[in-house]
Chain A
Amino acid sequence: MAEAEESPGDPGTASSRPLMRDLKAVGKKFMHVLYPRKSNTLLRDWDLWGPLILCVTLALMLQRDSVDSEKDGGPQFAEVFVIVWFGAVTITLNSKLLGGNISFFQSLCVLGYCILPLTVALLICRLVLLADPGPVNFMVRLFVVIVMFAWSIVASTAFLADSQPPNRRALAVYPVFLFYFVISWMILTFTPQ
Protein backbone atom coordinates (compact mmCIF):
# COMPACT_ATOMS: atom_id res chain seq x y z
CA MET A 1 0.00 0.00 0.00
CA ALA A 2 1.12 3.53 -0.57
CA GLU A 3 0.90 4.65 3.05
CA ALA A 4 3.73 4.18 5.54
CA GLU A 5 3.95 0.82 7.15
CA GLU A 6 3.79 0.50 10.89
CA SER A 7 6.44 -1.72 12.34
CA PRO A 8 5.08 -4.97 13.66
CA GLY A 9 6.96 -4.47 16.88
CA ASP A 10 5.04 -1.39 17.87
CA PRO A 11 2.67 -2.19 20.68
CA GLY A 12 -0.87 -1.05 20.44
CA THR A 13 -1.07 0.03 16.79
CA ALA A 14 -0.62 -3.28 14.93
CA SER A 15 -3.97 -4.75 15.83
CA SER A 16 -5.99 -1.77 14.72
CA ARG A 17 -4.91 -1.73 11.06
CA PRO A 18 -7.87 0.02 9.59
CA LEU A 19 -9.54 -2.30 7.14
CA MET A 20 -12.35 0.14 6.59
CA ARG A 21 -9.89 2.79 5.53
CA ASP A 22 -8.46 0.53 2.85
CA LEU A 23 -11.88 -0.53 1.66
CA LYS A 24 -12.93 3.08 1.44
CA ALA A 25 -9.83 3.89 -0.62
CA VAL A 26 -10.63 1.04 -3.00
CA GLY A 27 -14.23 2.14 -3.28
CA LYS A 28 -13.20 5.70 -3.96
CA LYS A 29 -11.00 4.55 -6.82
CA PHE A 30 -13.87 2.50 -8.24
CA MET A 31 -15.91 5.68 -8.33
CA HIS A 32 -13.09 7.48 -10.10
CA VAL A 33 -13.05 4.81 -12.76
CA LEU A 34 -16.79 4.87 -13.27
CA TYR A 35 -16.80 8.63 -13.65
CA PRO A 36 -13.47 9.31 -15.27
CA ARG A 37 -12.19 12.80 -15.12
CA LYS A 38 -8.68 14.07 -15.05
CA SER A 39 -7.43 13.43 -11.57
CA ASN A 40 -4.44 11.68 -10.20
CA THR A 41 -6.04 9.89 -7.30
CA LEU A 42 -5.35 6.54 -8.88
CA LEU A 43 -1.79 7.51 -9.56
CA ARG A 44 -0.96 9.17 -6.29
CA ASP A 45 -2.26 6.53 -3.90
CA TRP A 46 -1.92 3.44 -5.95
CA ASP A 47 -2.85 0.07 -4.58
CA LEU A 48 -3.36 -3.33 -6.10
CA TRP A 49 -6.31 -4.51 -4.02
CA GLY A 50 -8.85 -3.29 -6.53
CA PRO A 51 -7.21 -4.97 -9.52
CA LEU A 52 -6.89 -8.17 -7.52
CA ILE A 53 -10.55 -8.18 -6.55
CA LEU A 54 -11.62 -7.44 -10.10
CA CYS A 55 -9.33 -10.03 -11.62
CA VAL A 56 -10.48 -12.74 -9.23
CA THR A 57 -14.12 -11.83 -9.85
CA LEU A 58 -13.57 -11.93 -13.60
CA ALA A 59 -11.76 -15.25 -13.47
CA LEU A 60 -14.36 -16.84 -11.19
CA MET A 61 -17.27 -15.66 -13.28
CA LEU A 62 -15.68 -16.86 -16.48
CA GLN A 63 -15.68 -20.36 -15.10
CA ARG A 64 -18.30 -22.72 -16.31
CA ASP A 65 -21.21 -23.60 -14.11
CA SER A 66 -21.48 -27.30 -14.78
CA VAL A 67 -18.30 -29.13 -15.50
CA ASP A 68 -19.46 -32.49 -16.72
CA SER A 69 -21.64 -31.51 -19.61
CA GLU A 70 -20.81 -32.25 -23.19
CA LYS A 71 -19.87 -28.82 -24.28
CA ASP A 72 -17.05 -28.14 -21.95
CA GLY A 73 -15.68 -24.68 -22.31
CA GLY A 74 -14.89 -21.65 -20.28
CA PRO A 75 -11.42 -20.55 -19.47
CA GLN A 76 -9.57 -21.90 -16.55
CA PHE A 77 -9.06 -19.56 -13.66
CA ALA A 78 -5.31 -19.42 -14.16
CA GLU A 79 -5.55 -18.49 -17.82
CA VAL A 80 -7.61 -15.40 -17.15
CA PHE A 81 -5.37 -14.42 -14.28
CA VAL A 82 -2.22 -14.84 -16.35
CA ILE A 83 -3.66 -12.96 -19.30
CA VAL A 84 -4.76 -10.01 -17.21
CA TRP A 85 -1.58 -9.64 -15.23
CA PHE A 86 0.88 -10.33 -18.02
CA GLY A 87 -1.06 -8.08 -20.31
CA ALA A 88 -0.91 -5.29 -17.76
CA VAL A 89 2.81 -5.85 -17.20
CA THR A 90 3.48 -5.78 -20.94
CA ILE A 91 1.58 -2.54 -21.40
CA THR A 92 3.39 -0.99 -18.46
CA LEU A 93 6.78 -1.96 -19.84
CA ASN A 94 5.80 -0.63 -23.23
CA SER A 95 4.70 2.72 -21.84
CA LYS A 96 7.87 3.02 -19.81
CA LEU A 97 10.01 2.18 -22.81
CA LEU A 98 8.23 4.81 -24.86
CA GLY A 99 9.40 7.37 -22.37
CA GLY A 100 6.50 7.62 -19.99
CA ASN A 101 7.16 8.93 -16.52
CA ILE A 102 4.78 6.67 -14.71
CA SER A 103 5.95 4.11 -12.24
CA PHE A 104 5.48 0.40 -12.74
CA PHE A 105 2.89 -0.14 -10.03
CA GLN A 106 0.98 3.02 -10.79
CA SER A 107 0.41 1.76 -14.30
CA LEU A 108 -0.61 -1.69 -13.07
CA CYS A 109 -3.02 -0.01 -10.68
CA VAL A 110 -4.68 2.09 -13.37
CA LEU A 111 -4.99 -0.78 -15.85
CA GLY A 112 -6.38 -3.09 -13.21
CA TYR A 113 -8.95 -0.62 -11.94
CA CYS A 114 -10.12 0.15 -15.46
CA ILE A 115 -11.23 -3.46 -15.87
CA LEU A 116 -14.19 -2.51 -13.69
CA PRO A 117 -16.53 -1.55 -16.58
CA LEU A 118 -15.78 -4.87 -18.28
CA THR A 119 -16.55 -6.75 -15.09
CA VAL A 120 -19.87 -4.94 -14.94
CA ALA A 121 -20.41 -5.95 -18.57
CA LEU A 122 -19.76 -9.56 -17.64
CA LEU A 123 -22.33 -9.41 -14.86
CA ILE A 124 -24.89 -7.91 -17.23
CA CYS A 125 -24.09 -10.55 -19.84
CA ARG A 126 -24.67 -13.32 -17.37
CA LEU A 127 -28.02 -11.84 -16.45
CA VAL A 128 -28.92 -11.47 -20.11
CA LEU A 129 -27.93 -15.08 -20.75
CA LEU A 130 -30.59 -16.23 -18.31
CA ALA A 131 -33.09 -15.31 -20.99
CA ASP A 132 -33.53 -17.54 -24.03
CA PRO A 133 -30.61 -17.50 -26.47
CA GLY A 134 -30.93 -16.05 -29.93
CA PRO A 135 -29.63 -13.29 -32.14
CA VAL A 136 -31.32 -10.59 -30.06
CA ASN A 137 -29.58 -11.96 -26.99
CA PHE A 138 -26.26 -11.79 -28.79
CA MET A 139 -26.87 -8.26 -30.07
CA VAL A 140 -27.70 -7.01 -26.60
CA ARG A 141 -24.58 -8.58 -25.18
CA LEU A 142 -22.49 -7.25 -28.04
CA PHE A 143 -23.80 -3.75 -27.46
CA VAL A 144 -23.17 -3.87 -23.72
CA VAL A 145 -19.65 -5.21 -24.16
CA ILE A 146 -18.79 -2.61 -26.79
CA VAL A 147 -20.02 0.22 -24.60
CA MET A 148 -18.11 -1.00 -21.58
CA PHE A 149 -15.02 -1.62 -23.70
CA ALA A 150 -15.11 2.00 -24.85
CA TRP A 151 -15.66 3.11 -21.26
CA SER A 152 -12.59 1.18 -20.09
CA ILE A 153 -10.43 2.69 -22.75
CA VAL A 154 -11.63 6.22 -22.05
CA ALA A 155 -11.08 5.73 -18.32
CA SER A 156 -7.57 4.37 -18.66
CA THR A 157 -6.62 7.00 -21.23
CA ALA A 158 -7.80 9.75 -18.90
CA PHE A 159 -5.36 8.53 -16.30
CA LEU A 160 -2.45 7.38 -18.42
CA ALA A 161 -2.37 10.00 -21.12
CA ASP A 162 -0.73 12.65 -19.02
CA SER A 163 2.25 10.49 -18.24
CA GLN A 164 3.30 10.11 -21.85
CA PRO A 165 5.01 12.64 -24.07
CA PRO A 166 2.22 14.31 -26.03
CA ASN A 167 3.27 13.12 -29.47
CA ARG A 168 3.43 9.47 -28.44
CA ARG A 169 0.08 9.04 -26.78
CA ALA A 170 -1.30 7.01 -29.64
CA LEU A 171 1.60 4.57 -29.37
CA ALA A 172 0.92 4.03 -25.67
CA VAL A 173 -2.86 3.78 -26.00
CA TYR A 174 -2.88 1.19 -28.80
CA PRO A 175 -1.74 -1.78 -26.66
CA VAL A 176 -4.30 -0.78 -24.03
CA PHE A 177 -6.89 -1.03 -26.78
CA LEU A 178 -5.69 -4.53 -27.70
CA PHE A 179 -5.63 -5.63 -24.07
CA TYR A 180 -9.20 -4.59 -23.35
CA PHE A 181 -10.24 -6.00 -26.72
CA VAL A 182 -8.99 -9.44 -25.72
CA ILE A 183 -10.77 -9.26 -22.37
CA SER A 184 -13.97 -8.09 -24.06
CA TRP A 185 -13.70 -10.97 -26.50
CA MET A 186 -13.41 -13.42 -23.62
CA ILE A 187 -16.48 -11.90 -21.99
CA LEU A 188 -18.53 -11.81 -25.17
CA THR A 189 -17.83 -15.39 -26.15
CA PHE A 190 -18.58 -16.79 -22.73
CA THR A 191 -21.70 -18.88 -22.56
CA PRO A 192 -22.32 -21.04 -19.54
CA GLN A 193 -24.39 -24.14 -20.16
Chain B
Amino acid sequence: MTTTAAPAGGARNGAGPEWGGFEENIQGGGSAVIDMENMDDTSGSSFEDMGELHQRLREEEVDADAADAAAAEEEDGEFLGMKGFKGQLSRQVADQMWQAGKRQASRAFSLYANIDILRPYFDVEPVQVRSRLLESMIPIKMVNFPQKIAGELYGPLMLVFTLVAILLHGMKTSDTIIREGTLMGTAIGTCFGYWLGVSSFIYFLAYLCNAQITMLQMLALLGYGLFGHCIVLFITYNIHLHALFYLFWLLVGGLSTLRMVAVLVSRTVGPTQRLLLCGTLAALHMLFLLYLHFAYHKVVEGILDTLEGPNIPPIQRVPRDIPAVLAAARLPTTILNATAKAVAVTLQSH
Protein backbone atom coordinates (compact mmCIF):
# COMPACT_ATOMS: atom_id res chain seq x y z
CA MET B 1 0.00 0.00 0.00
CA THR B 2 2.69 2.44 0.96
CA THR B 3 4.90 1.70 -2.00
CA THR B 4 2.14 2.49 -4.41
CA ALA B 5 1.15 5.38 -2.26
CA ALA B 6 4.55 6.99 -2.46
CA PRO B 7 4.71 7.30 -6.24
CA ALA B 8 1.09 8.32 -6.31
CA GLY B 9 1.95 11.00 -3.82
CA GLY B 10 4.91 11.99 -5.90
CA ALA B 11 2.72 12.45 -8.93
CA ARG B 12 0.77 15.07 -7.16
CA ASN B 13 3.74 17.30 -6.77
CA GLY B 14 3.07 18.59 -10.21
CA ALA B 15 -0.62 18.99 -9.58
CA GLY B 16 -0.38 22.75 -9.35
CA PRO B 17 -2.60 24.81 -7.13
CA GLU B 18 -3.31 22.17 -4.46
CA TRP B 19 0.25 22.36 -3.28
CA GLY B 20 0.20 26.12 -3.05
CA GLY B 21 -0.45 26.29 0.67
CA PHE B 22 1.95 23.53 1.45
CA GLU B 23 4.95 24.93 -0.29
CA GLU B 24 4.73 28.24 1.51
CA ASN B 25 5.16 26.47 4.77
CA ILE B 26 8.38 24.92 3.69
CA GLN B 27 10.53 27.25 1.71
CA GLY B 28 8.44 29.96 0.17
CA GLY B 29 9.71 29.05 -3.23
CA GLY B 30 7.67 29.58 -6.31
CA SER B 31 7.79 26.10 -7.76
CA ALA B 32 5.11 23.51 -7.42
CA VAL B 33 7.65 20.79 -6.75
CA ILE B 34 8.81 19.97 -3.28
CA ASP B 35 12.51 20.60 -3.25
CA MET B 36 13.67 17.69 -1.19
CA GLU B 37 17.33 18.63 -1.29
CA ASN B 38 16.84 21.78 0.65
CA MET B 39 15.25 20.17 3.63
CA ASP B 40 17.15 19.42 6.78
CA ASP B 41 15.97 15.89 6.76
CA THR B 42 18.43 14.29 4.40
CA SER B 43 16.39 11.18 3.86
CA GLY B 44 14.17 13.25 1.66
CA SER B 45 10.96 12.94 3.57
CA SER B 46 9.52 14.77 6.51
CA PHE B 47 6.71 14.45 8.93
CA GLU B 48 4.69 17.21 7.36
CA ASP B 49 5.11 15.61 4.00
CA MET B 50 3.48 12.49 5.30
CA GLY B 51 0.58 14.45 6.63
CA GLU B 52 0.06 16.19 3.36
CA LEU B 53 0.49 12.97 1.45
CA HIS B 54 -2.16 11.26 3.47
CA GLN B 55 -4.52 14.14 3.06
CA ARG B 56 -4.07 14.14 -0.69
CA LEU B 57 -4.46 10.39 -0.79
CA ARG B 58 -7.71 10.50 1.06
CA GLU B 59 -9.07 13.23 -1.16
CA GLU B 60 -8.14 11.58 -4.40
CA GLU B 61 -8.55 7.96 -3.50
CA VAL B 62 -11.59 7.57 -5.67
CA ASP B 63 -9.82 8.94 -8.70
CA ALA B 64 -6.80 6.67 -8.64
CA ASP B 65 -6.57 4.27 -11.57
CA ALA B 66 -3.94 2.21 -13.37
CA ALA B 67 -3.05 4.84 -15.94
CA ASP B 68 -2.33 7.30 -13.22
CA ALA B 69 -0.09 4.88 -11.39
CA ALA B 70 1.79 3.94 -14.54
CA ALA B 71 2.43 7.53 -15.47
CA ALA B 72 3.39 8.29 -11.91
CA GLU B 73 6.07 5.65 -11.79
CA GLU B 74 7.97 7.25 -14.62
CA GLU B 75 7.74 10.65 -13.06
CA ASP B 76 8.73 9.26 -9.73
CA GLY B 77 11.85 7.72 -11.15
CA GLU B 78 12.82 11.07 -12.62
CA PHE B 79 11.86 13.03 -9.54
CA LEU B 80 13.60 11.06 -6.87
CA GLY B 81 16.74 10.67 -8.85
CA MET B 82 19.57 9.48 -6.65
CA LYS B 83 17.41 9.20 -3.52
CA GLY B 84 15.41 6.36 -4.98
CA PHE B 85 15.14 3.38 -2.71
CA LYS B 86 16.60 4.94 0.41
CA GLY B 87 14.16 7.82 0.21
CA GLN B 88 11.25 5.47 -0.12
CA LEU B 89 12.27 3.42 2.88
CA SER B 90 12.58 6.40 5.16
CA ARG B 91 9.38 7.72 3.78
CA GLN B 92 7.67 4.53 4.86
CA VAL B 93 9.05 4.92 8.35
CA ALA B 94 7.87 8.49 8.56
CA ASP B 95 4.56 7.33 7.21
CA GLN B 96 4.11 4.82 9.97
CA MET B 97 5.16 7.30 12.59
CA TRP B 98 2.59 9.70 11.30
CA GLN B 99 -0.13 7.08 11.39
CA ALA B 100 0.66 6.05 14.93
CA GLY B 101 0.87 9.58 16.19
CA LYS B 102 -2.34 10.57 14.51
CA ARG B 103 -4.16 7.57 15.93
CA GLN B 104 -3.04 8.32 19.44
CA ALA B 105 -3.83 11.99 19.20
CA SER B 106 -7.31 11.46 17.86
CA ARG B 107 -8.00 8.85 20.49
CA ALA B 108 -6.92 11.18 23.25
CA PHE B 109 -8.89 14.00 21.75
CA SER B 110 -12.06 11.98 21.39
CA LEU B 111 -11.74 10.85 24.96
CA TYR B 112 -11.08 14.10 26.78
CA ALA B 113 -12.00 16.99 24.61
CA ASN B 114 -15.22 15.64 23.29
CA ILE B 115 -18.07 17.54 24.78
CA ASP B 116 -20.44 15.24 23.01
CA ILE B 117 -20.14 13.01 26.04
CA LEU B 118 -22.25 15.53 27.91
CA ARG B 119 -24.59 16.33 25.07
CA PRO B 120 -27.34 13.83 25.96
CA TYR B 121 -27.63 15.35 29.42
CA PHE B 122 -28.50 18.72 27.96
CA ASP B 123 -31.15 17.49 25.61
CA VAL B 124 -34.12 19.29 27.12
CA GLU B 125 -36.91 21.55 26.06
CA PRO B 126 -37.95 24.65 28.02
CA VAL B 127 -41.33 23.05 28.73
CA GLN B 128 -39.65 20.05 30.29
CA VAL B 129 -37.44 22.23 32.47
CA ARG B 130 -40.43 24.20 33.68
CA SER B 131 -42.45 21.12 34.50
CA ARG B 132 -39.54 19.56 36.34
CA LEU B 133 -39.06 22.71 38.36
CA LEU B 134 -42.65 22.63 39.44
CA GLU B 135 -42.58 18.91 40.16
CA SER B 136 -39.59 19.34 42.42
CA MET B 137 -41.89 21.01 44.91
CA ILE B 138 -44.57 18.33 44.86
CA PRO B 139 -43.90 15.23 46.92
CA ILE B 140 -45.39 12.08 45.49
CA LYS B 141 -47.13 9.61 47.72
CA MET B 142 -46.48 6.43 45.76
CA VAL B 143 -43.40 4.88 47.23
CA ASN B 144 -44.03 1.26 46.31
CA PHE B 145 -42.27 1.28 42.99
CA PRO B 146 -39.26 3.29 41.86
CA GLN B 147 -40.07 6.73 40.66
CA LYS B 148 -38.54 8.08 37.51
CA ILE B 149 -35.78 10.67 37.81
CA ALA B 150 -34.91 12.65 34.73
CA GLY B 151 -31.19 12.43 34.16
CA GLU B 152 -30.39 15.85 32.85
CA LEU B 153 -27.86 18.40 33.92
CA TYR B 154 -29.08 21.64 32.40
CA GLY B 155 -31.70 22.37 35.05
CA PRO B 156 -29.49 21.59 38.05
CA LEU B 157 -26.56 23.53 36.63
CA MET B 158 -28.68 26.59 35.97
CA LEU B 159 -30.19 26.36 39.43
CA VAL B 160 -26.76 26.29 41.03
CA PHE B 161 -25.72 29.36 39.07
CA THR B 162 -28.97 31.06 40.00
CA LEU B 163 -28.31 30.31 43.65
CA VAL B 164 -24.87 31.89 43.27
CA ALA B 165 -26.44 34.98 41.73
CA ILE B 166 -29.04 35.19 44.51
CA LEU B 167 -26.37 34.90 47.18
CA LEU B 168 -24.46 37.73 45.60
CA HIS B 169 -27.59 39.82 45.25
CA GLY B 170 -28.42 39.29 48.88
CA MET B 171 -25.34 41.06 50.09
CA LYS B 172 -26.01 44.40 51.63
CA THR B 173 -24.94 47.04 49.21
CA SER B 174 -26.12 50.23 50.73
CA ASP B 175 -23.27 51.77 52.68
CA THR B 176 -20.62 49.22 53.18
CA ILE B 177 -17.77 48.46 50.91
CA ILE B 178 -17.74 44.98 49.54
CA ARG B 179 -14.84 42.93 48.43
CA GLU B 180 -16.61 41.45 45.48
CA GLY B 181 -13.86 39.06 44.57
CA THR B 182 -13.83 37.19 47.83
CA LEU B 183 -17.58 37.01 47.99
CA MET B 184 -17.78 35.70 44.46
CA GLY B 185 -15.36 32.91 45.14
CA THR B 186 -17.11 32.03 48.38
CA ALA B 187 -20.53 31.98 46.76
CA ILE B 188 -19.44 29.82 43.85
CA GLY B 189 -17.51 27.50 46.13
CA THR B 190 -20.38 27.11 48.55
CA CYS B 191 -23.03 26.35 45.96
CA PHE B 192 -21.01 24.04 43.77
CA GLY B 193 -19.44 22.42 46.80
CA TYR B 194 -22.84 21.65 48.22
CA TRP B 195 -24.25 20.33 44.98
CA LEU B 196 -21.32 18.12 44.06
CA GLY B 197 -20.24 17.18 47.56
CA VAL B 198 -23.59 16.25 49.02
CA SER B 199 -24.57 14.43 45.84
CA SER B 200 -21.44 12.33 46.06
CA PHE B 201 -21.95 11.67 49.75
CA ILE B 202 -25.56 10.62 49.34
CA TYR B 203 -24.59 8.50 46.36
CA PHE B 204 -22.02 6.79 48.53
CA LEU B 205 -24.63 6.20 51.24
CA ALA B 206 -27.03 4.93 48.61
CA TYR B 207 -24.38 2.50 47.50
CA LEU B 208 -24.06 1.28 51.08
CA CYS B 209 -27.81 1.05 51.50
CA ASN B 210 -28.38 -0.70 48.17
CA ALA B 211 -30.53 2.03 46.76
CA GLN B 212 -31.15 2.06 43.03
CA ILE B 213 -29.88 5.40 41.98
CA THR B 214 -27.07 6.49 39.71
CA MET B 215 -24.75 9.42 40.25
CA LEU B 216 -26.34 11.37 37.43
CA GLN B 217 -29.78 10.89 38.90
CA MET B 218 -28.56 11.98 42.31
CA LEU B 219 -27.01 15.10 40.83
CA ALA B 220 -30.24 15.88 39.00
CA LEU B 221 -32.38 15.22 42.07
CA LEU B 222 -30.35 17.39 44.39
CA GLY B 223 -29.97 20.07 41.75
CA TYR B 224 -33.69 20.40 41.31
CA GLY B 225 -34.06 20.35 45.08
CA LEU B 226 -32.16 23.63 45.12
CA PHE B 227 -35.12 25.30 43.45
CA GLY B 228 -36.82 25.58 46.81
CA HIS B 229 -33.68 27.14 48.27
CA CYS B 230 -33.57 29.71 45.48
CA ILE B 231 -37.16 30.75 46.10
CA VAL B 232 -36.76 31.03 49.86
CA LEU B 233 -33.53 32.98 49.70
CA PHE B 234 -34.77 35.30 46.99
CA ILE B 235 -37.82 36.23 49.03
CA THR B 236 -36.17 36.46 52.43
CA TYR B 237 -33.17 38.45 51.22
CA ASN B 238 -35.60 41.12 50.13
CA ILE B 239 -37.99 40.93 53.07
CA HIS B 240 -36.01 40.65 56.26
CA LEU B 241 -38.31 39.02 58.73
CA HIS B 242 -37.07 36.08 60.72
CA ALA B 243 -40.56 34.72 61.26
CA LEU B 244 -41.17 34.81 57.53
CA PHE B 245 -37.94 32.98 56.94
CA TYR B 246 -38.84 30.21 59.38
CA LEU B 247 -42.21 29.82 57.75
CA PHE B 248 -40.70 29.55 54.30
CA TRP B 249 -37.96 27.32 55.57
CA LEU B 250 -40.48 24.82 56.83
CA LEU B 251 -42.93 25.12 53.98
CA VAL B 252 -40.90 25.47 50.83
CA GLY B 253 -37.75 23.82 52.08
CA GLY B 254 -39.78 21.07 53.60
CA LEU B 255 -41.71 20.43 50.40
CA SER B 256 -38.63 20.07 48.24
CA THR B 257 -36.98 17.88 50.85
CA LEU B 258 -40.07 15.69 51.08
CA ARG B 259 -40.03 15.27 47.34
CA MET B 260 -36.42 14.12 47.32
CA VAL B 261 -37.03 11.86 50.28
CA ALA B 262 -40.06 10.26 48.63
CA VAL B 263 -38.07 9.52 45.49
CA LEU B 264 -35.26 7.97 47.49
CA VAL B 265 -37.63 5.91 49.64
CA SER B 266 -39.23 4.52 46.52
CA ARG B 267 -35.84 3.32 45.40
CA THR B 268 -34.61 1.81 48.66
CA VAL B 269 -35.56 -1.43 50.34
CA GLY B 270 -35.56 -1.94 54.08
CA PRO B 271 -36.59 0.42 56.86
CA THR B 272 -33.12 0.97 58.32
CA GLN B 273 -31.63 1.86 55.00
CA ARG B 274 -34.48 4.16 54.15
CA LEU B 275 -34.16 5.91 57.47
CA LEU B 276 -30.43 6.37 57.17
CA LEU B 277 -30.47 7.64 53.61
CA CYS B 278 -33.46 9.89 53.82
CA GLY B 279 -32.64 11.20 57.25
CA THR B 280 -29.19 12.24 56.13
CA LEU B 281 -30.46 13.92 53.00
CA ALA B 282 -33.26 15.74 54.80
CA ALA B 283 -30.94 16.96 57.53
CA LEU B 284 -28.30 18.19 55.10
CA HIS B 285 -30.79 19.89 52.82
CA MET B 286 -32.67 21.75 55.52
CA LEU B 287 -29.55 22.68 57.41
CA PHE B 288 -27.97 24.06 54.25
CA LEU B 289 -30.86 26.47 53.82
CA LEU B 290 -30.52 27.51 57.44
CA TYR B 291 -26.82 28.01 56.96
CA LEU B 292 -27.30 30.09 53.84
CA HIS B 293 -29.63 32.42 55.59
CA PHE B 294 -27.89 32.84 58.90
CA ALA B 295 -24.30 31.75 59.04
CA TYR B 296 -23.43 32.80 55.52
CA HIS B 297 -24.77 36.22 56.29
CA LYS B 298 -22.62 36.30 59.38
CA VAL B 299 -19.53 35.35 57.48
CA VAL B 300 -20.32 38.04 54.98
CA GLU B 301 -20.98 40.63 57.63
CA GLY B 302 -17.70 39.78 59.18
CA ILE B 303 -16.12 40.65 55.88
CA LEU B 304 -18.22 43.72 55.38
CA ASP B 305 -17.81 45.03 58.87
CA THR B 306 -15.77 48.14 59.23
CA LEU B 307 -13.11 48.64 61.80
CA GLU B 308 -14.10 48.21 65.38
CA GLY B 309 -10.98 47.02 67.07
CA PRO B 310 -7.81 45.10 66.63
CA ASN B 311 -9.44 41.71 67.15
CA ILE B 312 -9.95 39.59 64.14
CA PRO B 313 -12.80 37.07 64.40
CA PRO B 314 -11.66 33.65 63.34
CA ILE B 315 -14.09 33.30 60.43
CA GLN B 316 -13.20 36.57 58.85
CA ARG B 317 -11.45 36.27 55.57
CA VAL B 318 -10.33 39.84 55.15
CA PRO B 319 -8.49 41.26 58.12
CA ARG B 320 -9.22 44.72 59.25
CA ASP B 321 -6.86 47.01 57.58
CA ILE B 322 -5.03 49.30 59.99
CA PRO B 323 -3.02 51.84 58.08
CA ALA B 324 -0.72 52.50 61.01
CA VAL B 325 0.71 49.02 60.83
CA LEU B 326 1.46 49.26 57.20
CA ALA B 327 2.80 52.76 57.37
CA ALA B 328 5.06 51.71 60.22
CA ALA B 329 6.29 48.76 58.29
CA ARG B 330 6.78 50.95 55.28
CA LEU B 331 5.62 48.19 53.09
CA PRO B 332 3.71 48.91 49.94
CA THR B 333 0.22 47.77 50.73
CA THR B 334 -0.42 46.44 47.32
CA ILE B 335 1.95 43.55 47.69
CA LEU B 336 0.65 42.40 51.04
CA ASN B 337 -1.91 39.71 50.75
CA ALA B 338 -4.60 39.06 53.32
CA THR B 339 -2.49 36.67 55.37
CA ALA B 340 0.37 39.07 55.71
CA LYS B 341 -1.94 41.81 56.80
CA ALA B 342 -3.55 39.55 59.38
CA VAL B 343 -0.16 38.64 60.78
CA ALA B 344 0.87 42.26 60.91
CA VAL B 345 -2.25 43.27 62.74
CA THR B 346 -1.95 40.40 65.22
CA LEU B 347 1.62 41.35 66.00
CA GLN B 348 0.59 44.93 66.41
CA SER B 349 -2.10 44.07 68.91
CA HIS B 350 0.28 42.02 71.10
Please, which residue of chain B has its CB at the minimum distance from the CB of A188? B173
**B-contacting residues, A157-193, CB 8 Å:** 167-168, 170-171, 174-175, 178, 181-182, 185-186, 188-191, 193
| Interface residues of B, dominant DSSP | helix
- Contact A98 B154, CB 8 Å, known A70-B307, A171-B126: yes
Contact of A73 among B119, B169, B177, B326 (CB under 8 A): B177
**B-contacting residues, A64-110, CB 8 Å:** 67-76, 78-80, 83, 93-94, 96-99
- Inter-chain contact B321/A171, CB cutoff 8 Å: no
Question: Which residues does chain A contribute within 8 Å of B38, judged by CB atoms?
Answer: none
- Inter-chain contact B168/A185, CB cutoff 8 Å: yes
Give the interface size class of chain B: 35 or more
- Selecting from B52-60, B133-141, B178-186, B195-203, the interface stretch reads B178-186
How far, in Å, is A98 (CB) from chain B's closest CB?
A: 5
- Contact A174 B158, CB 8 Å, known A68-B321, A94-B122, A98-B122: yes
- Contact A97 B118, CB 8 Å, known A68-B326, A171-B129, A182-B168: yes
Decide if A10 is an interface residue (CB 8 Å cutoff).
yes
Question: Which residues does chain A contribute within 8 Å of B122, judged by CB atoms?
Answer: 94, 97-99
Question: Which residues does chain A contribute within 8 Å of B321, judged by CB atoms?
Answer: 68-70, 72
- Inter-chain contact B179/A168, CB cutoff 8 Å: no
Of B28, B162, B178, B327, the most chain A CB neighbours within 10 A belong to B178
Question: Which residues does chain A contribute within 8 Å of B181, judged by CB atoms?
Answer: 75-76, 78-80
Bound Cα distance from A10 to B27, whole angstroms: 9
Please, which residue of chain B has its CB at the minimum distance from the CB of A171? B126
Please, which residue of chain B has its CB at the minimum distance from the CB of A179? B161
Give the interface size class of chain A: 35 or more
Decide if A39 is an interface residue (CB 8 Å cutoff).
no
- Inter-chain contact A175/B126, CB cutoff 8 Å: no
Bound Cα distance from A171 to B161, whole angstroms: 13
Contact of B165 among A74, A178, A190 (CB under 8 A): A178
Bound Cα distance from A75 to B318, whole angstroms: 12
B interface residues (Cβ-Cβ under 8 A, vs A)? 24-25, 28, 115, 118-119, 121-126, 129, 154, 157-158, 161-162, 164-165, 168-169, 171, 173-174, 176-181, 184-185, 306-307, 318, 320-323, 326-327, 333-334
4 A-B pairs besides A7-B28, A98-B154 with CB distance below 8 A are: A76-B181, A167-B126, A170-B126, A188-B173
16 inter-chain pairs at a CB distance below 8 angstroms, sorted by A residue, are A10-B24, A68-B323, A68-B326, A68-B327, A69-B323, A79-B185, A93-B115, A98-B154, A138-B174, A168-B125, A175-B158, A178-B165, A182-B184, A185-B165, A185-B168, A189-B180
